[in-house]
Amino acid sequence: MMVKCVIWDLDNTLLSGVYLETAARPPAPDPAMLAVLRQLSARGIIHAIATRNPPEAARYAAAVTGLDFAAAESGWGRKSDAVRRIITDLGLGPDAVAFVDDDLYERAEVSLAVPEALVLSPEDMAEAVGWPEFSPATVTAEGARRGELYAQRRRRQEEARAFAGSRDEFLRYCGTRVAIGPAADADAPRLHELSVRTHQFNTTGEAMAEAELRALIASPAHQVATVRLSDRFGDDGLVGGCVSHRGPGPGWTVTLLMMSCRALGRGVIEALLAWLARSAARDGAQELVVPCLVTPRNVPLRLALAASGFRAPEDTGTAERPRVARFARTLSGPPPPLPGWVTAPGEP
Amino acid sequence: MSVVSAGVVGELRQILVQATGREELLDTSDQTPLFGAGVGLDSLSGVMLLREVHRRFGVDVAAEDLNLDALATLATLAAFIEERAG
């Protein structure tokens, strides 16, 4: 089904920041999303806004992008209700709209309430311009492949909803394969891309340049690992990575940890944290340290750290501004188990 | 620790079922660990749970609890909420 209208979230999606936090000098449009917006407009696809902001935020977005939005829903209700109102106002079918939001909760909420809609993260949206749903005339092989990935994800989600059992049972049922391995020079572009696009699972919140990644991959003092994910529904390729090194003292430090949100709920981040703890312990380390920027956006990462036994001292800064907390996990005692579907260096 | 009302725990149990999509978690004891085997709270279900708690009780657990210790069990989460919601 062709998408006729894209419904955009504003904060940290179409705008490169939060409108109300900086209302005196509102954030500029996100350059990647602005490019997508213009490309899709040129193909005749219309746009709408669904935002938890006062109406002036939508007017600001229209002015700053130079685009007419066909509809704008502003307010603090459920995003799915805003999406439904836009669908009704514009006289569209629910399967003719896409919804883009950086927040995984909002995406999950809209997916459940309007299952026919195409629900995308900004990371997905940057690629989706090449999908058949957005570009009947100009589909490339790569675009078609990535569109297929999304279809696979939807089939997996549908089965997950119908599946009775724990998450691990579902992952086994799917034939999940998580492959952790040493990064090669050729992985640098994708790792750079992940450092730019991941927010909910990213410990630093900063892009890492390809050149820096190449240097770290070549450095004998650092370990750069990649994570690849596949199951019987499809192959997601390289979905995550991390950079770590020995020290300080008898510990190991992970200076960057990141994962695509398309791997969410599939045991990937947990597998990576468990493998890091196991390899550091094998190396004789007594502690695994993961310094992590604390922001409202990477709460999913903090949940994964908490679930994997990491703790940070509470006295680091204030709740108002982002700060780096030193999450650490002791390596005394038995190492965390690694599920059977994970293959990794040093593991049988 | 304050005495936690069964009402809050019951409501949290409902939210947990909604967040995980697993009906069988209606039997979760208020002392069952939420992380790890059993409930197996993960990033997605955890975020759903935290948002719904924020919406219904007005308590932003993630902003106030760096280590998310409140998510140890339904009892600790209920206590955390009752302490703040007053």
Helix (H/G/I), strand (E/B), else coil: A75 = coil
How near does any CA of chain B get to the CA of A270, in Å? 9
Contact A99, A119 (CB under 8 A): yes
How near does any CA of chain B get to the CA of A271, in Å? 12
How confident is the model over A6-34, as a mean pLDDT?
A: 92
A113 pLDDT band (50/70/90 cuts)? confident
Task: Compute the distance between CA of residue B68 and CA of residue A302 in angstroms, rounded to an integer.
Answer: 8
How confident is the model over A154-160, as a mean pLDDT?
A: 82
Cβ <8 Å between A270 and B42: yes
Contact A202, A257 (CB under 8 A): yes
pTM for the whole structure: 0.81
H or E, element range at B54: helix B43-57
Q: Is the pLDDT of residue A52 over 90?
A: yes
pLDDT value for A322: 61
Looking at per-residue pLDDT, the higher value among A11 and A67 belongs to A11
The per-residue b/e assignment along A30-53, b for 16 or more CB within 10 angstroms, e otherwise, is beebbebbeebbeeebbbbbbbbb
**Chain A within 8 Å of B35 (Cβ-Cβ)?**
yes
How near does any CA of chain A get to the CA of B32, in Å? 14
Distant-in-sequence contacts of A152-158, Cβ < 8 A, 24+ apart: A152/A233, A152/A234, A153/A233, A153/A234, A153/A262, A155/A233, A156/A231, A156/A233, A157/A111
The share of chain A scoring above pLDDT 70, in percent, equals 94
Task: Compute the distance between CA of residue A181 and CA of residue A107 in angstroms, rounded to an integer.
Answer: 31
**Which of A7-16, A87-96, A140-149, A165-174 is the most confident on average?**
A7-16
Cβ <8 Å between B41 and A201: no
Average pLDDT score over chain A:
89
Q: Is the pLDDT of residue A140 over 80?
A: no
The residue of chain A with its CA nearest to that of B36 is A307
Q: Is the pLDDT of residue B4 over 70?
A: no
**ipTM score over 0.95, yes or no:** no
Looking at per-residue pLDDT, the higher value among A250 and B21 belongs to A250
Residues in chain A closer than 8 A to B44 (CB atoms): 104, 108, 264-265, 300
The residue of chain A with its CA nearest to that of B44 is A265
Which of A302, A316, A319 has the CB atom closest to B68's CB atom?
A302
Q: Is the pLDDT of residue A320 over 60?
A: no
Which of A296, A307, A325 has the CB atom closest to B42's CB atom?
A307
CA angle A105, A111, A114 (to 5 degrees): 130
Going A60 to A61 to A67 to A71, the CA torsion angle's sign is negative
Nearest to A276 by CA among A248, A292, A256, A261: A256
How near does any CA of chain B get to the CA of A8, in Å? 21
Helix (H/G/I), strand (E/B), else coil: A177 = strand
Cβ <8 Å between B35 and A265: no
Residues in chain B closer than 8 A to A303 (CB atoms): 41-43, 46-47, 68, 71
